[in-house]
Amino acid sequence: MSSPNSGNVGIVIVSHSSKIAEGAADMVRQMVGHAVPLAWTGGDVDGGLGTNVAGILEAIETAWSPAGVAILVDLGGAETNSEMAVEMLPEDRRARVVVCNAPVVEGAVIAATEASGGSSLAAVKRSAEEFYA
């Protein structure tokens, strides 16, 4: 995980599989380089398939940007755990993190591309979700 300082919206990738999360992050890096803060997390706390709130909170911290953070998730638990993580953030950060309703790989690439141009959090989320629609 790495996140250079950037004013752009950050991207967090959450998958049940750390390999999928890491692979999706690789694809994002290939597309947009280091223009956006990026972090990924995958697996349960024992390293098996699953998602965990602590890992998601850490990823949000890593990809934090004053412009906000867009989270891309795969299956149900990833979404539920991500929403839980957002609620557990300090109040001043809560409104600046969104979970996108988009496929994790395609959504992450499109969201990051949009973010790399300096778009707002709302625009980043919209782009990721429009792809799915």
**Cβ proximity to another protein, 67 vs 86, nearer residue:** 86
Q: Which span sits near another protein by CB under 8 A: 1-9, 22-30, 46-54, 109-117? A: 46-54
C-beta of 33 vs 76, nearer to another protein: 76
Residue type, position 77, single letter: G
Is there binding between residue 19 and another protein (CB under 8 A)? no
User: Which residues fall within 8 angstroms of residue 100, CB to CB, at 6 or more apart?
Assistant: 70, 71, 72, 73, 107, 111, 125, 128, 129
- Indicate which single residue of 3, 41, 65, 81 sits in contact with another protein (rule: CB under 8 A): 81
> Which one, 78 or 121, has the nearer CB to another protein?
78
Angle at 128 between CA 122 and CA 133, to 5 degrees: 110
Interface with another protein (CB under 8 A)? 44-46, 48-54, 75-77, 80-81, 83-84, 88
